Amino acid sequence: MGVLPVPEEVRSMHAKIDRVLDTVYMQNKALEKIIGRLDEFEATQKDLHELSRELRHVKNSLITIKDCLRFDAVS
């Protein structure tokens, strides 16, 4: 007994499946890249939030210093 020939429909279906798998693979790679960039963005956003908080603290400290100097000038 020999190997039976593969019908053209089956070959065509295999080719379509291969193209779908290639497309899914490419989309997966693109999604990995997007997720990586989102992780970077999230880290940057956290850093900016922390810097904003520190700047508010510095601003409040400067206001306190200014108020103390003004009080000393009045006294």
- Asked if residue 6 belongs to a domain, the reply is no
Map tokens 């990995």 to a residue: 32
Please state, in angstroms and rounded to a whole number, the distance separating the CA atoms of residues 2 and 23: 35
Q: Total domain count for the chain?
A: 1
Is-above-0.95 flag for pTM?
Answer: no
Q: Tell me which residue range forms the domain holding 17.
A: 11-75
- Asked if residue 54 belongs to a domain, the reply is yes
Maximum pairwise Cα distance, the chain: 112
Model pLDDT for residues 12-65, shown as the tens digit of each residue:
999 999 999 999 999 999 999 999 999 999 999 999 999 999 999 999 999 999
